[in-house]
Structure 1
Amino acid sequence: MSGRNDGRAFIGSFTSAGGRGIIHVAVDPDTGALTERGATDAVADPSFLTLAPDGSVLYAVSETDEGAAAAFTAPAGTGAGDGVPRLIGDPVPVRGSSPTHLTLTAGHLLTANYGSGSVTALSVGGDGGLLSATGVLRHEGGGPHPERQRGPHAHQVLADPSGRWILVTDLGTDSVRISSLDPASGELTAHGETALRPGTGPRHLAFHPAGGHAYVLNELEPTLTLCRWDAAGGVLEPVGEAPVLPDSADVASYASEVVVSQDGRFVWAANRGHDSIAVLALDATHEKAELVTTVPCGGTWPRDLVLDPTGRRLYAANEHSGDVTWFDLDPTTGIPARAGSIEAPAASCVIFG
């Protein structure tokens, strides 16, 4: 790399499937192109990542049966240094199995543990390193799918825009769980549960930028559930559904990630199997969505989608083809146009910062 001050991003991947762990990449501000700067496989299967608010520390789940989370130094996005993230302390057990997602809020790192159907809160030290688990909230229940819903499967955990509530999508129980986190003790307390249509298998959700609506992407049925969100009461209310695949689709497909445009006009969803990105247009109420089109994801099995900080480009982590592909977004239609890709074996997520 030259000395230009490009942005940076980090790619997570499955080491058990040939991935290189966490890959640090520079981002060209003009083209969106990614260039590798360093990688580490210090933890197994770092399938999802997040950054501290100041960008100095990178956190990863270790999606293994034992279940752990780890903190890393986050190299700067310039050409200086070797660009390799370094562990801060040892990985910390999450007291749950197969963590698939994590978020940082109120001085704690939270993980959604798919295998055990639970959510864990970990305390964070002054250096950004992880300390012990302060609370574990275990889900109960199941759903009609004979294999995928024999028990709870927490898949995503995130704070709502107000910072008051924690929302968790549970694929196994067809519901979104709402809880609160005590910043002082790190205890998690269940607050409510929103039931979705049985058998849909909610995987991830994303909030509208205005804060009053959320969109739940379902993995077991190719649909998006549109919801109102009441931050005052911590209540999520489903108000409708929209398809994320055309009627002509004739292949088994499992939706993975949902993204809302910065202007609140579009929703994008990744479809694994159909290997596409769905483009949905929201109406003025934010409560109805129309499937505009689907476009090829640039590879196979798109596990993650993310906007760059400008909101003008969309990046897809294509797990089975082993690449991250980026797209320029048409500001009028929201339709992505493929612009390039970088090799990233067993890619599972991309984050910017």
Structure 2
Amino acid sequence: MNRLKFLFLLLLISFTASAQETLYVGTYSVRGSEGIYVYSFDRDNQSFSLKQTVNTPESPSFLTVSPDGHYLYSANRGGTEEYPDWGSVSSFSIDKKSGELSPINQISSYGISPCHVHIDGNQDWLYVSHYGGGSLSVFPIKNGGSVGSLADSVQHTGSSVNPNRQEAPHVHSIQSIPQSNYFITADLGLDYLKIYEMKDKNALPAPVAYITTEAGAGPRHFSQSKNSSYIYVAEELTSTVSVHYLNIKERKTHQVQRVSTLPEGFSDNNSVADIHSSPDGRFLYVSNRGHNSLAIFEINADTGKLTSRGYQSTLGEVPRNFTIDSQGEFVLVANQNTDNIIFFQRNKENGQLTATGTELSVPSPVCLEIK
């Protein structure tokens, strides 16, 4: 009898955990957007229910959830009353049962047009990228999830070969390297990924300071392999992915491969946006804006190299960001220009995607987080 009770309790816990999954949607403040959208997700029925909308300063266009799942942070184009010409960062607590958000605090991002926000694995630091001003900001995370006063800010300088898009630095994304004090920034305007080390509350150049891409590539977002030995870079301006080997301790880095994200013969305008690998590290996906697809690649675990496995239409226009759930069972794609989010089932064995028919209507969705 005790064993039966124990099994029943496990089933109940499992059901409760699945019932608590929540989708968070960051948007641009156009076409009637109300800010951040919060949906409950029923995995068994593949259905979503709108629970909450949260007002923030203009365009909460990028979101991140803390590793412990207790807090959410948004990068907003709009500023604070004290610093209206800069962007801002908002912090929220997440209700364990409902997934709904409650505001904690809001501060200036100390830069123009923040486009990406990231929190390290230890929840010590919050990193903010500024596309407009070409700078990055680092903030401490305080007890209770609030964002503390600015710890450090770094201004990139220079330009590259594309006069329309690379006339100045454009810091587009930041990720920390797991189990280390290092973090990587992708600068679209300078054609490199710059690597920093957090030391004594300062962002200092790492022993390997740069990963360089091809001139004019425009690195936007990137994905790290499971052991962080390979970096997969989505190159916005050339619709390519470059693969780089990185070993900071040995001070080594080199390019392994560079492949197109487009099918042969496609000649219309296109730019890549987001990039993610599957939880098992076997497949890589990249969003094409123009071809309006996800490019699918298989990853060679030994060499890090990519092999194309086809394309999946996103059933909408300008797929900006997308997310893969932690179990690797589905992919959600945010189509910015057609105001829809498409739900795809994912085949874990071959990486292919199948549209389920489930679709959400959200004004100008640009960032998705599901927890």
TM-score, normalised via structure 1 length:
0.92
Count matched residues: 345
Q: Take 2:30 and 2:142, find their aligned partners in 1: how far apart are those partners?
A: 29
Q: Check conservation: 1:6, 1:29, Cα contact below 8 A.
A: no
Alignment match, 1:346: 364
- Summarize deviations over 1:102-125 as a string: whole Å, max 9, x none: 111251211011111111001222
Q: Deviation of residue 231 (structure 1)? A: 4.2
**Which has the higher mean CA deviation after the structures are superposed, 28-37 or 39-48?**
28-37
Residue 177 of structure 2 corresponds to which residue in structure 1? 160
How far the C-alpha of 1:93 sits from its partner, in A, is 1.1
Match in the other structure for 2:118 = 103
1:87 aligns with 2:107: no
Q: Does 1:317 align with 2:334?
A: yes
Give the equivalent residue in structure 2 for 1:207.
224
1:249 CA drift (Å): 1.4
Q: Which residue of 2 aligns with 1:70?
A: 90
Q: Which residue of 1 aligns with 2:48?
A: 34
**Is the aligned partner of 1:58 residue 2:78?**
no
* 8 Å contact kept, 2:30–2:363: no
Partner of 2:201: 186
- 1:296-315 correspondence to structure 2 within 5 Å: 296-315=313-332
Cα shift at 1:59: 0.5
Deviation at 1:155, TM superposition (A): 0.3
Contact 1:164 1:231 in 2 (8 A): no
Residue 11 of structure 2 corresponds to none
Match of 2:186 in 1: 169
Match of 2:133? 116
Q: Is the 1:12–1:349 Cα contact (8 Å) retained in structure 2? A: yes
Could you tell me how far 1:234 is from its partner in structure 2? Answer: 6.1
Contact kept in structure 2, 1:228 and 1:237, CA below 8 Å: yes
The correspondence for 2:287, drawn from 258, 262, 270, is 270
For residues 301 and 19 of structure 1, the distance between their equivalents in structure 2, rounded to whole angstroms, comes to 17
Separation in structure 2 between the aligned mates of residue 186 and residue 322 of structure 1, nearest angstrom: 40
Gap change, CA 1:10 and 1:236, over 3 Å in 2: farther
- Whether the 8 Å CA contact 2:279–2:326 is kept in 1: the answer is no
Partner of 2:231: helix, strand, or coil? strand
Structure 1's unaligned 5+ residue stretches are none
Distance 1:310 1:286 in 2: 25
Show the counterpart of 2:82: none
Q: Which moved more, 1:254-263 or 1:225-234?
A: 225-234
Change (3 A) 1:196 1:280: same
Shift of 1:332: 2.3
- Once the two structures are superposed, residues 66-123 of structure 1 have per-residue CA deviations (whole angstroms, 9 ceiling, x without a partner) of 1111101223354xxxx6522212x211211111111112512110111111110012
**Structure 1 residues 290-316: Cα deviation after superposition (integer angstroms, max 9, x where no partner):** 222111112111110111121111111
SS of 2:144's partner is coil
Pairwise CA distance, 1:126: 1.7
TM-score (norm 2): 0.88
User: Which has the higher mean CA deviation after the structures are superposed, 326-335 or 12-21?
Assistant: 12-21
> CA, structure 1 residues 198+302, in 2 after alignment: closer, same or farther (shift >3 Å)?
same
Contact 1:137-1:189 at 8 Å conserved across structures:
no
The answer as to whether partners of 2:346 and 2:352 remain within 8 angstroms in 1 is yes
Partners of 1:134 and 1:164 in 2: how far apart? 15
Structure number with higher helix proportion: 2
AA of the residue aligned to 2:195: I
Whether the 8 Å contact between 1:256 and 1:271 is mirrored in structure 2 is yes
Query: For the Cα contact (< 8 Å) 1:154–1:170, is it kept in 2?
Result: yes
Contact 2:77 2:88 in 1 (8 A): yes
Instruction: Please list every run of at least 4 consecutive aligned residues from structure 1 whose deviation after the TM superposition is greater than 6 angstroms.
Output: none
Deviation at 1:205, TM superposition (A): 0.4
Instruction: Give the whole-Å Cα distance in 1 for the aligned partners of 2:95 and 2:337.
Output: 27
SS in 1 for 2:217: coil
Please say if 1:12 is aligned against 2:18: no
Q: Corresponding residue for 1:130?
A: 147
For residues 118 and 56 of structure 2, the distance between their equivalents in structure 1, rounded to whole angstroms, comes to 20
In percent, how many aligned pairs have the same letter? 24
> Secondary structure of 1:87's partner?
strand
Do 2:335 and 2:366's aligned partners in 1 also have CA atoms closer than 8 Å?
yes
| Structure showing greater relative contact order (alpha-carbon pairs closer than 8 Å, 6 or more residues apart) | 1
Q: Which residue matches 1:143?
A: 160
Is 1:108–1:186's contact at 8 Å kept on the other side of the alignment?
no
Partner of 2:345: 328
SS in 2 for 1:36: strand
Find the aligned partners of 2:31 and 2:86 in 1 and give their Cα distance: 17
Paired with 1:233 and 1:103, the residues of 2 have a C-alpha distance of: 26
Q: Which runs of 5+ in 2 are unaligned?
A: 1-15, 79-84
Moved more, 15-24 or 163-172: 15-24
Structure exhibiting the larger radius of gyration computed from Cα positions: 2
